[in-house]
Chain A
């Protein structure tokens, strides 16, 4: 496999060609946000920044049909109906272009849950196997980025099929998988030649821009030490307005809801992204709610990513460090700060005099 070069001007033509064979999802402006949309021929993708929405859309769409159903009335006995149900497994092949390394790597968090010994979700696995990721290495490091804290870096190609490295005039396209390599078999590409050295430099330079990595080792235990300290969680969640932006925009959040939508006698069962920060998420019939306040819900969200998931999946943190939840939170809740607060927690000193020991 050999690195290639594509000029800025040619990327749109390349996507046009790819979209003849695949569903191509590429970053587009939608009002004020950049989101992944099916590529429209001739339209230039927005490849110079991190899309606000996560690339999981390509494999785990915000709305996904699980099955169709149809009621049939028995003409002999109008009181009686039967139901026909049809499984709607995904058929398309797709290419997600313009994700960042963090977002693409987020798919590995799904993989351990949706395609493991215990269960194989055929919708997820179907899309995952038929979706290629063309990822753009980061050159603009933001204050909210912390991919390096969770074991990654701005040119990480994990879970990618092709890595595009921005160089003067275009991108060096580094194939990561055989299938990714096949995408580069196109007249829009030229051999990278000397530009490969430039790409290596770009990668090195941006990696060096990040501050020293924070060490999350042992954070799960520290978070669990605070589990029953509701005051801690109330303080961390004080500003939260339970809007759910952090969950919907997160590349690793994989919770969903299932709902039926009928029109007349036919309909479909859908799965949609869901939001654990909402009161309704765990509300039970008796009125009892195991996570009744935003403190309980934020505790679950943070613990799921930094304590429960690592505990279940060999230490892997279920956060790719993209910073979307920090950047998009209307009240600046910062997940990094919460985990650090648990890691460095020291009991407040007693108000005066008294020695509690």
Chain B
């Protein structure tokens, strides 16, 4: 981060990828080459992207620190800043304040089986961790990815998914809400809600960690399913979304009791969440 934590670094978009009708991925490099070379972060950390004149918004850095050619952010269009970001093209500039927040406990996870459960844009924070684990494959046990979206065309990271499906050191299961043409020919393609499919896959909680992110309602039922499967509260990791402005613990927007999601999060163990006052 900059010496002035509120001042963005200027960055240039080197590539734009259309993921789904409302999600677009931006690959960016900081303009200051020495700052780009010196940039380090951990999977799960976020950045504030600036569209000057429109404002800032928070996005997870969904590239992996093991691949530093660029920083990648995926932006779902929901409002003012995100709509403006969607108009940017290769070569355009934007502001980046990163890295912010905490990260997944990758050291603590070493040697364990990891189950990823992602819904919609919730795949973004899990992508960075998944790529990191795959790049350090020998350090981790069995890795399973369950990724759900409303329909096949709402599934982001198609190129990654194609590659992941072919790996034999990773189990991939994809699911969509309703039957769709051409979908379901492979056993990797399912139809049904994420918690149901998860129960079906039946991952073992033995020496395992589950990582989940997605819309609140999906998280709620996924947690229930994981509990039924025998996962303990401290074996479940999730990332929280709160309205954020400063991202550095000052503006008072993102607190849940004494915890500030922008600095104490966004990654939490479910056991930690349960200790927070009920104000999610």
Are B257 and A286 in contact (CB-based, < 8 A)? no
* Contact between chains at A260 and B8 (CB < 8 Å): no
B3→A119 contact, CB < 8 A: no
User: Of A80, A81, A113, A286, which one neighbours B216 at CB under 8 angstroms?
Assistant: A286
Asked if A123 is at the interface of the complex by the 8 Å CB criterion, the answer is: yes
Question: Which residue of chain B has the shortest Cβ distance to A68 in the bound complex?
Answer: B52
Q: Does A282 lie within 8 Å of B242, measured CB to CB?
A: yes
CB nearest neighbor in A for B279 = A290
Asked whether A83 lies within 8 Å of B93 as measured between CB atoms, the reply is yes
Q: Please report whether the interface of chain B is mostly helix, strand, loop or mixed according to DSSP.
A: loop
Instruction: Name the one of A118, A123, A259, A296 contacting B279, with C-beta atoms under 8 angstroms.
Output: A296
Q: Which of B79, B91, B278 is most buried by chain A, counting CB atoms within 10 A of its CB?
A: B91
Residues of A within 8 A of B52 (CB): 69, 71, 83, 85, 260, 262, 267, 269
Measured in the bound complex, the distance between the Cα atoms of B3 and A118 in whole Å is: 12
* A79 (CB) vs chain B CBs: closest residue: B89
Report the Cα distance A122→B7, complex, angstroms.
10
Contacts of B241 in A (CB 8 A): 284
- Residues in B with CB closer than 8 Å to A276 are 252
Give the A interface residue count (CB, 8 A): 51
**Residue on B nearest A281 in the bound complex, by CB:** B253
Chain A 152-163, CB within 8 Å of chain B: the 1/0 string?
000000000000
A321 to B56, CA, bound (A): 35
- The residues of A that contact B280 with a CB separation of less than 8 Å are 290
Task: List 21 interface pairs A-B (beta carbons < 8 Å), by A numbering.
Answer: A79-B89, A80-B89, A83-B52, A85-B10, A87-B4, A87-B7, A119-B250, A254-B252, A256-B245, A257-B245, A258-B246, A258-B251, A259-B55, A274-B251, A274-B253, A286-B216, A290-B256, A290-B279, A296-B279, A308-B255, A312-B258
Q: Is the CB of A283 within 8 A of B53?
A: no
- Interface: A17 (CB within 8 A): no
Q: Is A224 an interface residue (CB 8 A)?
A: yes
Residues 46-77 of B at the A interface (beta carbon under 8 Å): 52-56
A216: interface (CB < 8 Å): no
With A69-B52, A290-B279 given, is the CB distance from A285 to B78 under 8 Å? Answer: yes
Other-chain residue from B5, B56, B216, B258 in contact with A308 (beta carbon distance below 8 A):
B258
| Chain A residues packing against B (C-beta within 8 Å) | 66-67, 69, 71, 79-83, 85, 87, 89, 113-114, 118-119, 121-123, 224, 227-228, 254-260, 262, 267, 269, 271, 274, 276, 281-286, 288, 290-291, 296, 300, 303-304, 308, 311-312
- Docked-complex contact A255 and B251, CB < 8 angstroms: yes
- Bound: A82/B3 CA distance, A: 23
Q: How far is the CA of A276 from the CA of B251 in the complex (A)?
A: 10
Contact A256:B246 (CB < 8 A) given known A85-B52, A296-B279, A308-B258: yes
CA–CA, A267 to B51, complex, Å? 12
Decide if B54 touches A260 in the complex (CB within 8 Å).
Answer: yes
List the A residue with the shortest CB-CB distance to B9: A85
Q: Contacts A114-B250, A290-B256 given; 19 further ones with Cβ under 8 A?
A: A71-B52, A80-B91, A85-B52, A89-B4, A118-B263, A119-B250, A121-B250, A122-B4, A255-B251, A258-B6, A258-B56, A260-B54, A262-B52, A274-B253, A281-B243, A282-B243, A290-B279, A304-B252, A312-B258
Whether, in the assembled complex, B148 has its beta carbon less than 8 Å from a beta carbon of chain A, the answer is no
B-side contacts of A255, CB under 8 Å: 251-253
Q: Which 3 A-B pairs have the closest CB atoms?
A: A255-B252, A69-B52, A262-B53
Instruction: Kindly identify which residue among A69, A119, A285, A296 contacts B53, using a CB–CB cutoff of 8 Å.
Output: A69
Q: Are A123 and B6 in contact (CB under 8 A)?
A: yes
| Contact B4–A224 (Cβ < 8 Å) | no
- Closest CB-CB distance, B262 to chain A, in whole Å? 11
B31 to chain A: closest residue by CB? A82
Docked Cα-Cα span, A89 to B52, in Å, equals 18
Neighbouring A residues of B93 by C-beta, 8 Å: 81-83
A45–B109 Cα distance when bound, in Å, is 63
Residues of chain B within 8 A of A71, CB atoms compared? 52-53
- Checking A113, A288, A296 against B249 with a beta-carbon cut-off of 8 angstroms, the contacting residue is A113
Q: Which of A80, A83, A118 has most B Cβ within 10 Å?
A: A83
**Given A228-B278, A290-B279, CB of A284 within 8 Å of CB of B4:** no
B38 to chain A, nearest CB (A): 19
Residue of A nearest to B52 (CB): A69
Q: How far is the CA of A67 from the CA of B246 in the complex (A)?
A: 14
Q: Which residues of A contact B258 (CB under 8 A)?
A: 308, 311-312
Instruction: Give A77 Cβ to nearest chain B Cβ, in Å.
Output: 9
**A267: nearest chain-B partner, CB-CB:** B53
Distance in angstroms between the alpha carbons of A80 and B88 in the assembled complex:
9
